[in-house]
Structure 1
Amino acid sequence: MKRMLSLFLGVLLVLSLALAGCSNSGSDTEGDGEDGDGEVLTIGSWRTEDKAAYDKIIEAFNEEHPDIKVEFKPSKNTEYDTILNTALQSGEGPDIIQLRPYAPGMELAKAGYLEPIDDLDGIDVFTEETLSAATSEDGKVYGVPLSLNSAQMFYNKKIFNDLGLEEPKTWDEFIELNEKLKEEGVTPIALGTKEGWLLSLAHAIVGPAHYGANEFVDQITEGDKTFTSEEFVSSLDAMDELKQYFPENYEGLGMEDIRTLFFTEEAAMFPLGSWEIEVLREMSPDLEIGFFPMPSAEGKDPTMTTWVDGSYGINANSTNKEEAKKFLEFMTTEKFAKLFSDELARIPAVPGVKTEDELVTAMAEASNEYSTSYMMLVHFNRGNPTTKATLETELQGMYLGKQTPKGVAEKLQGNAVTYFEPFQ
C-alpha cells in the first residue's frame, strides 16, 4: 500500500508541474493585450496627473484604430529620466517616448534611441520654430510637439478683489503690490527654493523684465552679451530682492508645498507654467485664477515666457513602429489637439485650434502678444552640468546666503564658455 501511495503522489506531482508549465508558457506567448490578443502600444511620460485625460484621448484614437491597444504608462516626474534612460540602455522602454524639449530630448536622438519621423503624415502642420524643440543637430525631426507652454504670474482673484489690488503695469507697481500683500498678512509669492527647476522657471518669468526680453536673447546667443553683462546681473538682483516676499522657511519648500499655499489661499501669487491650471482646478474647483505678464523694469512691454513643451517620439527598438506612427499621426490632428486642450487646459502645439476655456484662451493670446524665449531652456540647456542646472544650483546657494547675484552670473559664464561657441 505504501508503494502504491507513493507512486500515486508522484504521478500527481508530475501532472501539477506539467499544468503549471503550460500555464506559464501560455501567458508568455499571448502578449500584453488585455484579452490575450497581441501586444500593447505603450506611451511613456512624466505626466502622472494626465492619466484620466489620456484614457479619453486613447478612446478617441481607437474610434479610428480599434485594433491597436494603447496604454499610457507615466512615471513620476523626478524619476522619469532615470527610469527611461535605464530602459533604453537595456534595449527596452516604451514604444512612444515623451521627450524633454530641445537639447535634453535630442540627446536621445544622438544616442540612437529614437526613430526619425520626417516623413510622418501630418508633421508639416507645425511651424519650423515649433519643430525646433524636437529637431536634432542632424536636421532630422524626432518628435511630434505636444503643447506650447507659457510661464507667468498666477494670482488669486478673490484676494486681489478683497484688498482692492490690481494687476501691476510696471516693476515698481509689482513691488508695491507685494508690499501691500505683506502688510495685510498675506504671503505675496508662493515660491520655495528646495527644487532647483522652480528657480530657473521663476527666473524665466522675472528675468526678461530686467535684461530686455528678445533683444537681449538675440545679443547673448550671438555672443554680443554675456551672463556677466549688467542687464543679466540685474535680473539676478531682482530674484534676490523678491525673497522677502516668499513664504516663511522657503528654503525647505518644494512644488507640493507652494502649490498648497496657493490653492488654500494662503499665498496671493504663484509664478508657474500654464500646465498648472488643470492641477489647481482639480485641487480647488472654486479657486478664481487670474494671471498677468511680468511688467518691465525698463519701461518696455511686459513679457510672457514661452517655449514648446515635450514632444512624442518613437523608440528605435520598438517592435510596434507602424502602430506608433499611427498614434503620432493622430497627434498632429485638430481632433487630438482639441481634446488635449479641453481635457488638460493646455495650449496645443497644433496651430489654429480654439478652446472654450477663457483662461487658456487669454493666456494663448497674451503669449502671442508678449512672447519671449525661455532662454535657459531653449539655448543654454547643454554642458555638464548644463548651464540651466548651474543656474538652479547657484540660485539655491544665493538664497542660502552662500552666493551673490554677481557670483551666480560668473558661474554661469564659466559653465557656458565650455561649449557655447559665441563665447569662445
Structure 2
Amino acid sequence: MLGAVAAGALVLAGCAPSDSGDDSTGGASGAGTSGGGGNATLTVWSWRVEDKAAYEKIFAAYEKKHPGVKIDFKAFKATEYNKILATGLAGANGPDVPQVRSYGQLQTTVASGSLVPLDGKVDVSSWDKNVVASARGKSDGKLYAVPFARQTVQMFYNKQLFEKNNLQPPKTWADFMKANETLSKAKVTPIAVGAKDDWTLPIVHEVLAAPRFGGKAFAGAVTSGKTSFTDPAWVDSVKIVGDLKKYMPKNVTGVAATDAQTLFSSGQAAMIPGGSYDLSVLQKPDPSLQIGAFEVPPPPGSTGGPTTPGWADGNFGVSKKSTHQAQATELVKWMSTPEFGQMVADEIKQISAVPGVTYSDPLLKQMSDSYSQHGSPYLLLTDFRYGAPSGTDLLGKGLQQLLLGQKDAAAVSQDLDKGVKTWFKPSGS
C-alpha cells in the first residue's frame, strides 16, 4: 500500500556487494564518494513490489542514455520496508538510491544523517509546495529527496451499476444522498469501506467531508494555531462519517480494506472512497469493469466547493554511504525531469510529481486535473505525522470508535486535538 503502512520487523538478508575497479557492482558499501568516472552499478531500493517491471523498463531507458551506468532495482514488501531500509542505510550494503517515505515518516531517516542534501543540485522551485514539503527536513528545511508521485483521494464508482440504477455522478449533496438511497433499495452496498483497517478511515473522512471542514483554508488555520480540531466545522465533518454508516457494509468495523476493494470490484458495492494509487488494484480483478471518479459534493454547511485532497507518496534520495554519489545524484536529478515524470504516468500509472506531465489514462488525467483545480493537503498526513501520536492514527482509531457507537464526533475530535497538541507547535507560535 502507500507510505501510510506501518513497518514490520525483518532482518535484512544479502544485498549487492561493493567493488573496486571499472566494473562496479553497486551498493553503498564503503565510505566516501568516488566521483562520476568509470562504470557503476547503482542499487535502487523501493517498497513498490507491484511496480518492479515498470521500474525496470524506466531504468532501461536511463541506462540507454547513460552508457556505463547500470541500475539494479530491488523491491521489498511495504510492511517490512522501513526496517529493511534503516538497516541498509546504517550498514555497508545498503542502496545507492533509496526510495524514502514522505513528510513525518521521512524525518527519522533525515535525523539519522543517511541522506545527501540535494539543495543546489536538483531544482524543484516550480513544483507544488505541498509535494516538495514531503521531501524536506522539518527542522532544517533542506531538500533530501525528489518526490516520485502525487496521490489524490476521491470517490470511485461503478459506471455499470450507476447506469443500471439510472444514476449520474452527483453534483449536489442531495444528489449524493439520493444515489445512496437508490442503491440501498436495489440491494447494492452504496459505499464500500473497510473500517477494520483504521488507517483507511482518515482517507474516508477526507473524501466524504473535506469541504465541510474547509479543506485548504482550514489547513492553513489549524497549522498556524488560529483554530483547532475542536472547531465546529471539523466536528461536523467527523459526524458526517458516522451519519453515512448506514450506507456502508454491515458490520463495517469488521470489514478489511481488501474486502472493501473486493466488494467494489465484484459489483456488490457501487462506490469506494480511495486514492489514485488504488486504481490499478480495483481494475485488476475485472479489466472490463468501468470505473469512474468524482469529488463528493460539499455537505450542508460547507464554506467551499468540491475538494480533492492530495499529498506526495514517497521520494528518492541519495545515500551518504554510496561510493557512487555523483552517478546516484545524476539519477535522482533525472527523476525530477519531465522524461521520468511521463514514464511514471505511462508505465506505473500514477500521477507524477513533475509538473507538466500529460496523461493518456482518462481517469488519471481527471484526478490530476481535479487536484490542480480544487486541491487541498491531506492534512493529517502532510502536517500531523511529525510526532506521536500522529494525527492519522488518532483519527483512524477515533472513527472506528464512532462507527462502533462508542464515541460521538465531538469526543473523537477532542481526542485528536489533545493528542496532537502533545507535540505539535503551530507555525504562528
- TM exceeding 0.5: yes
5 Å-filtered alignment, 1:100-179, equals 100-124=101-125, 126-136=127-137, 137-179=139-181
Following TM superposition, by how much is the alpha carbon of 1:273 offset from its aligned partner in structure 2, in angstroms? 0.7
2:33 alignment partner in structure 1: none
1:328 alignment partner in structure 2: 332
The one-letter code matched in structure 1 to 2:190 is P
Distance 1:264 1:66, change over 3 A: farther
2:204 alignment partner in structure 1: 202
SS at match of 2:284: helix
Residue 408 (1) aligns with residue 412 (2): yes
Distance, in Å, in 2 between the alignment partners of 1:82 and 1:243 is 36
CA contact (8 A) 1:383 1:415 kept: no
Rg larger in 1 or in 2?
Answer: 1
CA contact (8 A) 1:122 1:333 kept: no
CA contact (8 A) 1:125 1:350 kept: no
Pairwise CA RMSD: 2.4
The one-letter code matched in structure 2 to 1:140 is K
Following TM superposition, by how much is the alpha carbon of 1:408 offset from its aligned partner in structure 2, in angstroms? 1.1
Larger relative helix fraction? 1
CA contact (8 A) 1:192 1:198 kept: yes
1:38 to 8, 15, 25: 25
SS at match of 2:310: strand
Distance 1:62 1:380, change over 3 A: same
Distance, in Å, in 2 between the alignment partners of 1:37 and 1:84 is 22
SS at match of 1:97: strand
CA contact (8 A) 1:46 1:76 kept: yes
Following TM superposition, by how much is the alpha carbon of 1:353 offset from its aligned partner in structure 2, in angstroms? 1.5
Following TM superposition, by how much is the alpha carbon of 1:281 offset from its aligned partner in structure 2, in angstroms? 2.8
1:318 to 299, 303, 322: 322
Structure 1, residues 266-314: CA drift from partner, whole Å, max 9, x if none?
Answer: 1111111111222333332111111111211136411111222211111
Following TM superposition, by how much is the alpha carbon of 1:410 offset from its aligned partner in structure 2, in angstroms? 1.1
The one-letter code matched in structure 2 to 1:147 is A
SS at match of 2:190: strand
The one-letter code matched in structure 2 to 1:151 is V
Aligned residues: 396
2:277 alignment partner in structure 1: 275
SS at match of 1:275: helix
Distance, in Å, in 1 between the alignment partners of 2:265 and 2:16 is 49
The one-letter code matched in structure 2 to 1:81 is N
Following TM superposition, by how much is the alpha carbon of 1:197 offset from its aligned partner in structure 2, in angstroms? 1.7
CA contact (8 A) 2:16 2:93 kept: no
Following TM superposition, by how much is the alpha carbon of 1:91 offset from its aligned partner in structure 2, in angstroms? 5.6
Structure 2 unaligned segments of length 5 or more: list them.
1-13, 27-40
Distance 1:172 1:29, change over 3 A: closer
2:258 alignment partner in structure 1: 256
The one-letter code matched in structure 1 to 2:106 is G
1:389 alignment partner in structure 2: 393
Following TM superposition, by how much is the alpha carbon of 1:322 offset from its aligned partner in structure 2, in angstroms? 2.2
CA contact (8 A) 2:238 2:409 kept: yes
Distance, in Å, in 2 between the alignment partners of 1:404 and 1:109 is 38
Structure 1, residues 356-394: CA drift from partner, whole Å, max 9, x if none?
Answer: 222211221111111122111111112222122111122
Report the TM-score, using the length of structure 1 for normalisation: 0.87
1:99 alignment partner in structure 2: 100
The one-letter code matched in structure 2 to 1:83 is I
1:49 alignment partner in structure 2: 50
Counting aligned pairs with the same residue, the percent is 36
Q: Which moved more, 1:365-374 or 1:399-408?
A: 399-408
The one-letter code matched in structure 1 to 2:285 is M
Following TM superposition, by how much is the alpha carbon of 1:121 offset from its aligned partner in structure 2, in angstroms? 4.5
1:290 to 292, 314, 319: 292
Structure 1 unaligned segments of length 5 or more: list them.
1-26
CA contact (8 A) 1:305 1:373 kept: yes
1:346 to 332, 343, 350: 350
2:242 to 222, 240, 246: 240
The one-letter code matched in structure 1 to 2:343 is L
SS at match of 2:381: helix
CA contact (8 A) 1:192 1:253 kept: yes
CA contact (8 A) 2:148 2:316 kept: yes
Structure 1, residues 154-186: CA drift from partner, whole Å, max 9, x if none?
Answer: 101111011101111222322221121111011
Q: Which moved more, 1:196-205 or 1:91-100?
A: 91-100
5 Å-filtered alignment, 1:3-14, equals none
